[in-house]
Structure 1
Amino acid sequence: MIERTAVIAAAAGLHARPAAAFAYAAAAQPVLVEIARTAAPERSVQADSLLGVMSLNASHGETVVLRAGGAQAENALEELVRLLESGS
């Protein structure tokens, strides 16, 4: 399992529209990805779950950790980190 950290750039944090875009992108990945707030790393959720991502209540500027395993994990995490840090 590999990990990457990302700082949330979206002004709204991971709520509503940014969370939906992130969960959609995570669901498109060939590997299962988990996300957690670095302030509470033991409480991770599946990144492809909109409700799970929103339940993290991650705010703008907060750091999150993404975890995935498998042959394509590195590429999947890099794509998701770019999304989070771009504010899209």
Structure 2
Amino acid sequence: MAERTATIASNTGLHARPAAVFAEAASQYEHLDITIAPEGEPQHNAVDAASMLSLMSLGAGHGERVVLRADGHGADEALGQLAQILETDHDTK
């Protein structure tokens, strides 16, 4: 299983626009089951990375670290791209 840790860069955290951008990107990897959880949380508390509502329910704020996990062909590359999205401030124009 591939795993990647990322820091939330958007000032509003993983809410509204940043969550929508991330969920849309995660949904492009239909062949992978990608999950996200706050750093330090057990893996069984992880939520579906392609679900905007699940992302917002995490309550991940600016500067908080999250763990992305996926298993399957291309998982490392997918998590790298998704981590980059989280580490980009989507609140700026």
Q: TM-score, normalised by structure 2?
A: 0.89
1:32 Cα deviation after fit: 1.7
Q: Which runs of 5+ in 2 are unaligned?
A: none
Secondary structure of the 1:24 match is helix
Paired residues for 1:5-84 under 5 Å: 5-29=5-29, 30-42=31-43, 43-84=45-86
Map Cα deviations across residues 40-60 of structure 1 (whole Å, 9 max, x no partner): 244110000011000000000
Q: Which runs of 5+ in 1 are unaligned?
A: none
Q: Which moved more, 1:39-48 or 1:76-85?
A: 39-48
The CA distance in 2 between the partners of 1:41 and 1:78, in whole Å, is 21
Q: TM-score, normalised by structure 1?
A: 0.94
Counting matched residue pairs gives 88
8 Å Cα contact 1:41/1:65 also seen in 2: no
Indicate the percent of aligned positions where both proteins have the same amino acid.
Answer: 51
Amino acid across the alignment from 1:44: A
Q: Show structure 1 runs of 4+ deviating over 3 A.
A: none
Map Cα deviations across residues 54-75 of structure 1 (whole Å, 9 max, x no partner): 0000000000000000011011
Amino acid across the alignment from 1:55: S
Larger radius of gyration: 2
